[in-house]
Amino acid sequence: MKPLVIVTRKLPLAVEKRMQELFNVKLNDDDHPFTKDELLCAVQEATVLVPTVTDKIEAEIINAAGTNFKMIANFGVGINHVDLASARARMITVTNTPGVLTEDTAEMAFSLMLGIIRRVNEGERMLRAGKWQGWAPTDMHGTRLFGKKIGIIGMGRIGQALAKRAKAFGMGIHYHNRNPIHQDLEAEFGATYWQSLDQMITQMDVISLNCPYTDETHHLMNNHRLGLMQKHAYLINTARGEVIDEKILIEKLLSGEIRGAGLDVYENEPQVKKDFLTLENVVLAPHMGSATTEARQAMGDKVIINVKTFLDGHSPRDRVIS
């Protein structure tokens, strides 16, 4: 009997078919999010679990795993939903799918930026509601991107892909990162490195969050840093919802201390704070950063390679811990 691979959500059809060819796999045909009890059962039964961001793989679940449970092959890049310390203690290999959703997430960040700054979504709502009275010289003024300064927090793959797009639109590129990127890349983007995040925030027209979620970045944009943003500035988040203190962000948006925001991720997904739904100066998307056919297929391909490599007795390339 082949080792059992349990997949917690429905994946692209081609990915599932290939998994069925290669593995003894149990799929989630109706695509319901696994409950805690289902996750507990899965880790007691399986050798490999293929979870997504909707699965909270906490210490209790990992510690309840059966002796045959050896691998968590995450479908996605972010792994803040997995208790890595517990996995390491149990010598469970954890992998993810980096590098295949870079362009897609950068596109989403830029879409949110265009949508909120040029008031595209607001204009569409007005038109659909039958409230548009025709073109007028003073109607629906947005802001020009050309010549504006974008501050990118997290200059990894996605941050760099966003910088390329922003440069093409004539924006000034600024960034904060744990370390400066290579000087050749800085020259390519015409980018300015800011060691002080606080100082950078005070000077930017747009702040884009592209950093991973860790204990250090929890509520990185808190009352202090949101208060440093200029009144005409916009905040874009395609990282993780927990990077922003949403309660404070709502207060700043309501008071006009921040002009607008574009959000693809939220603190308590799939719940979204009701105030966001009523604000005109926010563009909201339902965690769509990697939602392209190409990205999701590539993520599935990476999962398959990671699992097959592991089951063949080798160390997967995309291991987070092993």
Report, as residue numbers or ranges, the catalytic residues.
Answer: 240, 269, 287
Q: Is 283 exposed, middle or buried (0-12, 13-18, 19+ CB in 10 A)?
A: buried
- Which residues have a Cβ under 8 Å from the Cβ of 63 and sit 6 or more positions away? 86, 90
Closest CA to 238 of 215, 271, 207: 207
Give the whole-angstrom CA distance, residue 313 versus residue 123.
56
Instruction: List strand residue ranges (DSSP E) for 123-226, in order.
Output: 149-153, 172-176, 192-193, 206-209
Give the single-character DSSP code of 243. G
Tokens at 282, concatenated: 């926010």
Q: CB-based contacts of 112: which residues, under 8 Å, 6+ apart? A: 236, 238, 262, 263, 264, 283, 285
Alpha-carbon span 204 to 235, nearest angstrom: 10
Tokens 């606080």 sit on residue: 198
SS3 265: coil
Q: Give every CB contact of residue 17 below 8 A, 6+ residues apart in sequence.
A: none
Per DSSP, the residues of 71-111 read EEE-SSS--TTB-HHHHHHTT-EEE--TTSSHHHHHHHHHH
